Structure 1
Amino acid sequence: MAITSSATPASEPWTIELGALDRKMGVEILEESVQKVVARMPVEGNTQSFGILHGGASLAVGEAVGSWAAVKYASTFGKVVVGVDVNATHHRSASAGMIFVTATPIKLGRRMTSHEVVISDERERRICTMRITNLVIDKPMP
């Protein structure tokens, strides 16, 4: 049985909603929970001038998936998050097919979260590794 206080009531996790950029990039959600968020995105349409996946596209989708994972967690106790840090290491390129983006928690705290975000290709080769840190805050008043 979970114990909650009246100051932070337990809530259902937030359901991921794609933003305009996510839709333009062709992002699809495959799995969403507090413990793991998985999405995929086509390489086609997200390439740079040499025909390979744009590093900025990797960062954009990775930051989105990592932030969604943090919001899923924070929403269970009535909070939201704002990003404070993201970093990435690009390991290899991709020129076709789909990439898969998986965010898993490193640390889920009451004030801050950190997630590892792994971007891989269809052959499960790691393309990029990211870490994103989010600050847990009260929901802004309307």
Structure 2
Amino acid sequence: MTAEPRDAASTGAQNAALWKITLGELDEKMGVKIVEESVQRVVATMPVEGNRQSFGLLHGGASLAVGEAVGSWAAVIHASTLGKTAVGVDVSATHHRSAREGQIIITATPIYLGGTLTTHEVLITNDGGERLCTLRITNLLLDRPD
């Protein structure tokens, strides 16, 4: 299955303008910065400093929180092409290694872009390009409330 978005005109979407990412309170506290946003790719960065657990390593919960946010933003951008919004229904992650310093790069790419569900892979790497964590997130697409 291709990851190409549907044509908004053919779906009857009333408002096909792409949704623009707005950081939430947690995103701001974690130091998240948006680098790129489109249907095909969302990229953000986050500092390790301020997001470490008591042993000095990047907190796994911080990785999940930022990964879920970036994957959800990607789903909402796609949903906006259909005049819809998205809500998360499943997220899973595998931690491969950790980091003690620097920036992490969070990249969400679509696995499946449907009219009802989306699934994205979210890759978290360190600033040297090493894979730290891989997430998969599935979002349900819903009509926007009036």
Matched, 1:11 2:42: no
Identity %: 64
Deviations along 1:74-115, one digit per CA (max 9) or x if unpaired, are: 001110001000000000010000000000000000000000
Deviations along 1:113-140, one digit per CA (max 9) or x if unpaired, are: 0000000001100000000000000112
| Contact 1:4 1:10 (C-alpha < 8 Å) held by counterparts | no
- Which residue of 1 is the match for residue 54 of structure 2? 49
1:20-99 pair list within 5 angstroms: 20-99=25-104
Q: Which runs of 5+ in 1 are unaligned?
A: none
What is the root-mean-square deviation of aligned Cα atoms in Å? 1.3
* Residues 6/84 of structure 1: CA separation in 2 closer, same or farther (3 Å cut): closer
TM-score, normalising length from structure 2? 0.92
Q: Which runs of 5+ in 2 are unaligned?
A: 1-6
TM-score, normalising length from structure 1? 0.95
Runs of 4+ in 1 over 3 A off after TM superposition: none
Deviations along 1:27-77, one digit per CA (max 9) or x if unpaired, are: 000000000000000000000000000000000000000000000000011
Deviations along 1:6-43, one digit per CA (max 9) or x if unpaired, are: 73245111000000000000000000000000000000
